[in-house]
Structures are given as structure tokens and as C-alpha cells.
Structure 1
């Protein structure tokens, strides 16, 4: 399979070329990158997790510079060979070709890249289109992120390439915003009374309920009447 695309970055070609030599910038451009080290003889070793479709797995990647020269127009050109292997899933082997070209003026660079890749192992049993789409999404994400990281380093973009993931809020946390949103304003005719199950759970007081002290006074009054009647009859 073959993937190709191009993008523009508002920095001079020498600056962009230097950025491709910076391991810290390259690692920051890879999402879910666990390690990225440079070995002897221009070889690189990466451990990276790809969370996309049929390529979802943890990969051990080896890459090395196959060639570095100018293209037909004398523009800087680099070719990298790579092999990415995942246990139980197979491997992807191929090449990446990069060409850096001045865009409009010397203060901007056009990055053109081509990726060739072939699958081996269980990956070959999957539809080629699925693998190609996942690889394209992952590759495009890397180059977009690389441009954002490099621009941020030179003060041309916010110092955060990826937007922060939305914070999850679980129901049992009962955040204040959720509590306020779930409170319903009571209709004016209820006068602040409870509604629904809350109203049924409380003892009701009717409008004509007699207080306890009134009952006690009536009992005492009746007792006095009975005592007076008995005294009169006995007298």
C-alpha cells in the first residue's frame, strides 16, 4: 500500500530539518509513545501503541536511514526503512520518504511524504482497505502533531498540540453543576411545598388540625364539668 500527502509549516526548511533530528520533538509527536531512542549507525528504536482499528496493538519499531540526498530539484530528501512488529498480530514493513521544499518564500516549508508498507502475519488476513485507512489516519495524525509541536517550540502556536480530553464525570460523584441542573423550580402555586414521593413520605397536617394543648384543655374542662355535676347531685 502507498500513502502520500503534503502539508505546510511556517518555518524555514533548515529549521524543519533540524526538528526532524530532535528526538524529544519526534517523541512528542507520537501519541502513546512509550520510548524512543537512537541506536548506533543511524538506527532508531520505538515502542508505541496504535489505538486505531485493525492496527490496534503495542508495536516494537525499528527504523534506520536508508538514504539522504537531494531530489531532482535539489531539495533535501530522506528515506527511512522501518519494521513494526506486534505480538500475535504480525508486522508492517516499509519505507517513508520525506522531501522538504521552500513554500512561497524562504520562511515556510512544504513537507511532502510518501509511505510504502506491506503487512505480514495475521494482518494479511484483514481487508487491505481497513489497514490502509488506519495507517493513513495514524500517519496524518503524526505529521499534523509534528507541525503543531515544532510551531509551539518557536512560539507560533499554543503550547498544547492536542486539545485536552474531556473530563469524565461519573454519576456517583454528583458534581455541583449536575446537582444544580437537576433541581427544578417549583410552581408558584405550590409555595415551596415538596412534590412527588418526597411529599408522600412526610406526614400530612391538615389545615384544621387541633393542637395538642387544645385537646388537653378540653379534657380538663370536661372533667371539671363532670365533677361539678356530681357535687350538685350529691348535695
Structure 2
């Protein structure tokens, strides 16, 4: 899986860098994150609950920051195990570019591999879940770093720089269609 997106955040490059290296802000920003703790120099142990389509699991993993050039860029190398749900590993290159004194463009390119049940559900579903997770992360992250006007107002300020990367169309499906699709996946899994 390959994923590249850009977000404009309404804070300075230095503040964005500091927040990306603050475990309390990351824990509050990562959907389903249960814990994130320092585990050596530039390394973190992470525990989170996530669901991709019909597969729900608790993942435990590790992140290592490499190629650090503060406050412009670094690479995150990650790996995680989700028991019978499978595993994931990969890396993400994060770049911060100032857009004026109080705005920063964050661009990332991620590459990941999944195995186990996660790989069986199909790359399209995994890619969609990854995009949705990233979008939710940046809404929460922006709310954490701006801390102005409440979380709801701040969450709306983090938007993809490219509207084609948005998954709003998928979110606008009716609840009945989503429930029907969920039932069909559940039935398919229970038959296999």
C-alpha cells in the first residue's frame, strides 16, 4: 500500500515539529491509541485498537524515527502485531514546509505491508481505512496544536491540500447501506 497526502496546519513549523514529537499530543490524536511511550532514543512503543472492515484487533507495535532533520523532516519506521488479525509494517517520510509565519504544510509518503486476515480483506478496503485513519488523525492533531476556538472549530481547519484525496463521498453513504455491507462481510467471513 502506498499513500501520499498533504495537509495545511494553522501553526508554525516549529510548533508542528514539537507536537509531532510530543507523546501526549500523539496519543490524543491517533484514533484508537491506548498508549504511546518512549522506548529508547527516537523510539516509541505503541498500543492501539483498530478496525479495518470486518477485522477488529488490538495492535502492539514500535515506531522508530530515522533520518531526522529538525524541524523539516524525518522518517518513521513502524511495525505492529494484531494477533490473529495479522500484522503491519512499513515507513512514512514526513516533511514540514512553512507557509508563512503561522501555517505549515505537512506532506507524508507512506508505504506499508499487511499480512494475515488484513491482507485477505483486500487492498481497496485497507487503503480506504488507512486514508480515513489519517484524515481523523490530522483533524485531532490540528485541534491539539491550535487549542483555539474549541476542538470542533480547530478540527475543521486541518484539510487535505488536495481535495481529490478526501473520502467524504464514502462517508455520505446511508446508514442502511453501510449496515447491509457490514452484514454481508460478516456472513462471508463466518462461511470461510
TM-score higher than 0.5 here? Answer: yes
Task: Select the structure that is richer in strand.
Answer: 2
Q: How many residues align?
A: 154
Shift of 1:159: 4.4
* Paired residues of 1:29 and 1:146 also in contact (CA < 8 A): yes
Query: CA 1:61/1:135 → structure 2, altered by over 3 Å: closer, same or farther?
Result: same
Q: Distance in 2 between matches of 1:54 and 1:139?
A: 19
1:45 aligns with 2:40: no
- Tell me which structure has the larger Cα radius of gyration: 1
Q: Does 1:157 align with 2:149?
A: yes
Match of 2:86 among 90, 104, 107: 90
Provide the TM-score with structure 1 as the length reference: 0.61
Instruction: Choose from 125, 132, 140 the match for 1:137.
Output: 132
Give structure 1 stretches of 5+ with no counterpart.
163-235
Secondary structure of the residue that 1:7 maps to in structure 2?
A: strand
| TM-score of the aligned structures, taking structure 2 as reference length | 0.74
Q: How many angstroms does 1:138 deviate by?
A: 1.0
Partner of 2:117: 122
Cα distance in 2, alignment partners of residues 91 and 16 from structure 1: 29
Contact 1:52 / 1:138 at 8 angstroms: preserved in 2?
A: no
Secondary structure class of the residue paired with 2:145: helix
C-alpha RMSD of the superposition: 1.9
Question: Where does structure 1 differ by over 4 angstroms across 4 or more consecutive aligned residues?
Answer: 159-162
Deviations along 1:177-213, whole A, 9 cap, x unmatched? Answer: xxxxxxxxxxxxxxxxxxxxxxxxxxxxxxxxxxxxx
Give the 3 Å change call, closer, same or farther, for CA 54–4 of structure 1 in structure 2. Answer: farther
Q: Which has the higher contact order (CA 8 A, sep 6+)?
A: 2
Separation of aligned partners in 2, 1:55 and 1:96: 23
Uncovered stretches (5+) of structure 2, i.e. residues with no partner: 156-192
State how far apart, in whole Å, the 1-side matches of 2:108 and 2:139 are.
12
CA shift digits 1:125-159 (9 cap, x unpaired): 2211111111111122112211111111xxx2304
